[in-house]
Structure 1
Amino acid sequence: MNFRDLLKLSLRTFKARTGRTALTILGMGIGISAILFLVGLGYGLQKLLLETITTSDSLSAIDVSPNAENNAKLSRESTEDLGRLEGVADIAPAYDLGAQIKYKDIVSDATAVITKPIFLKLDGKKISEGAALSENGNQELVLATSFSKSYNEEPENMIGQEVSFSLRIPKGESASGKKETERLDVEKKFKIVGFFESEDLSFFANMKDLEGIVPPIDYTRLKIKCAGNANLDGLKNEIAGMGYTVSSLSETVQEVNKMFAGIKITLALFGLVALLVSAIGMFNTMTVALLERTKEIGIMKAIGASDTHILLMFIIESTAMGFLGGLSGIFLGIVSGSMINAMINFVAWRLGGKAISLFSYPIWFLLFVLFFSIFIGFLTGV
């Protein structure tokens, strides 16, 4: 008996017992789709979170803050020394200052971040409306989207409008240890050129626009961009050895990946319960098929079929059902995920929110699911 004959005999059940076979494949598909739906949700949420907090530039950036215990300050001289370290491609110091910003007749308390334009990229800030700060400095501001919500105006309507603001400049500590500040009114008018997504009332201004206005005080923090071939961890250790407090977004990404690895495993275990039930259903179908074909098997053995041929016939049949169950499961999982995503985005759109993608299906995972369903079918046949 050749392989073609075995294949014809194995697949004959798809015509002879179409209803039962279809239900078995559907049951397998539902189990696979449950795993795909839940794990795809885990991958989607992970991707959504990482896209929100990271950019390609921010992953190669190091955050440096002063350390009072080590008397490590971010003065202009020490910042220049850091910029000369091997592996440093760029450096963006920043002042984080208390501020009051006046838009039309509305005055709001805010945080002013006075820095270089590249700081926004290194900090993972994405411009949602308008443009980023220009390098030359044209008296521009980039505001958090929370300002538009606070003023009940659309961001696009605020772009091009002029605002004024004042800063709170640190003046040391009083005898009681309380930090003192001095109000500094910025006489220039600044133009709103863009918005970034944030719930905090904060804005960015170019250092060049405030040269000669902000006195020479120590920086609050700075971002260091690593050169492409630089060792990020090695550079972090070197800067930490100089007494500064050092961190990077790559550490956060690693923690997020670890957290979601556990979440995806947990979701997959829930899906495995449904798959186990469907596998039992397939096993039951194959058992019934064996009992129904006892006479047929006897005739086949009488005309020369071996036990191996009989076993292969059932393995081919169950593996084919596993393959079709995997395909139907992938289809059902993606379709159900797309429907849920569409409903959520519709609600978000009605409430004024933005569309998001909650599900993600890596190609390797889809292939793994398909081969896993084939393997389950194979085991059932054995």
Structure 2
Amino acid sequence: MLFKDQIDFVSQHIKKNKLRVFMTVLAATMGCAFLIVLASIGFGIQDTMRKEILEDQAITEIEIFQSPDEDLDLSQIRALEQINAIVQRTRMDAAMSSQLEGRSNQESIILTSFEEEKKANLKLSEGRMPVKDNEIIVGYQFAKSLLTEEERKVLEESTEEVIDQKGYTGSLIGKTISMSLQPFELDEAFPEKWDFTIVGVTEKPAKDWFVDTNILMDQSWKDKLEEVYVANMEQENANLFFTSTKIYTSSLEHVKAATDKLKEMGYSVYSVSEQLEQIDVFFMAFKIGLIFVGTIAVLISSIGIFNTMTMAVTERTREIGVMKAIGASPKLIQRLFLMESAWIGIIGTALAVIISYAVSFLANWILPMVVGAALGEESFEGVEMTFSLIPWQLVVIASIISIGVSMISGWRPARKATKIDVIQALRQEL
């Protein structure tokens, strides 16, 4: 029998029992759809958490933990192929008292190399990177921290948070600001003053609660600031500067390799890849559990396929006997019934995939509005949450499980059909 004839044979018998086959396909569809939608929740939550992590910090960043007296071998680190930039930011145990157009503030200083910051892709909301020693970059909220004496007095006396309504409202780019060093323990700044030009403003922090009012200046000022501090305080401070080192790779794919090599060198490091690995391991187990639970639904639907195929064999006993009498082999008969059970599984799986994508789309559209209404728009604002995500790998896994279970469910009835006695089958009344 040709393959085309086998398909026609299966199609004819399916059309004879449309209602029964339809209900069986519906059961297979519901089981497979439940498996996909349930597992898609795990994929959706994992995708949301990964995006949250990657948005909250530089994805190519590796932080090295070092003690104050520890010196890093930067030449050895820079020799690694994956390293794109080494940014060492030095914080001073003192602040800069700034004066601009009758406004003032007192903010932290960060000494850095702007060449390395540029390689590390320091993002600015406006302006450019400094090219001269007297050019600086300020934090995104630096302008709002510049207050007049009257505004500062109102702010100190007020119990409400009015800082968002105060501060410098114009652009700081190109403005010349006067600065002087002021230790945190003193009420007044040192008499030495320097004029700096603001050429850049950092971008808005990813976390809304984080306030960036720092001042970034070239690291060449370190010796000068230390000299002024010692001259005015008349004492040296061994812990005047604190340096943090962050390494940036050329891409996210190189973070893991660079992290491992730095650990081999004896450094204590942390990178986003380690956090992502922990999340991936957790969600791998979580998704396997969801797929296992969903597979139970598919197994339940297999009972319907088994019953349908068993009834089909019973109803076609005489027909099977005729086929055997004219020379049909047991393998051919078994193949015909397996093709019928496979057809039920394939159709059910195809419908399940379509339904699952529709349910996933509706869930990602409706649930955010429901959660937003329940929690309040303000608390849910800015949160992009994926409730359901269906990658192609999930579709493949679910299809293999669904079609495989359908084939297994039809195997026993198909084997029974090959063992039907020809004489008894032909004696059966029509």
User: Which runs of structure 2 are paired with 1:223-262 in the superposition (5 Å)?
Assistant: 223-226=246-249, 231-233=257-259, 235-237=261-263, 239-240=265-266, 244-262=267-285
**2:84 aligned partner:** 89
Q: Secondary structure at the match of 2:30?
A: helix
* Post-superposition CA distance 1:6-28 (Å, at most 9, x none): 21121223322222212211211
TM-score, structure 1 normalization: 0.72
Aligned length: 355
**2:128 aligned partner:** 134
Q: 1:82 to 1:307 in 2, by over 3 A?
A: closer
Shift of 1:258: 0.9
Q: Secondary structure at the match of 1:131?
A: strand
| Percent sequence identity over aligned pairs | 21
CA distance in 2, matches of 1:248, 1:14: 58
More strand by share: 1
CA distance in 1, matches of 2:35, 2:97: 51
Shift of 1:226: 3.6
Shift of 1:160: 4.5
* Post-superposition CA distance 1:286-334 (Å, at most 9, x none): 1222222223323333333332222111100010111111111111222
The answer to whether the 8 A contact 1:97-1:169 is kept is no
* Post-superposition CA distance 1:69-128 (Å, at most 9, x none): xx426xxxx5865765544431112246798999xxxx99998876567769969x9x7x
Structure 2: tracts of 5 or more residues without a match: 99-103, 145-160, 227-239, 412-430
User: Which runs of structure 2 are paired with 1:4-15 in the superposition (5 Å)?
Assistant: 4-15=4-15
User: Which runs of structure 2 are paired with 1:1-382 in the superposition (5 Å)?
Assistant: 1-54=1-54, 58-67=58-67, 71-72=69-70, 78=72, 84-87=78-81, 88-95=83-90, 131=125, 134-136=128-130, 140-143=137-140, 160=171, 194-203=203-212, 205=214, 207-208=216-217, 212=221, 215=225, 217-226=240-249, 231-233=257-259, 235-237=261-263, 239-240=265-266, 244-347=267-370, 351-352=377-378, 353-354=381-382, 355-382=384-411
The residue type paired with residue 130 of structure 2 is: N
Q: Secondary structure at the match of 2:242?
A: coil
Of 358-367 and 279-288, the range deviating more from structure 2: 358-367
Q: 1:362 to 1:169 in 2, by over 3 A?
A: farther
Which has the greater radius of gyration? 2
Shift of 1:238: 5.3
Shift of 1:282: 1.5
* Post-superposition CA distance 1:333-377 (Å, at most 9, x none): 221111111112334666152444333322233223223322222
Q: 1:234 to 1:82 in 2, by over 3 A?
A: same
Shift of 1:168: 11
CA distance in 2, matches of 1:170, 1:239: 37
CA distance in 2, matches of 1:183, 1:320: 85
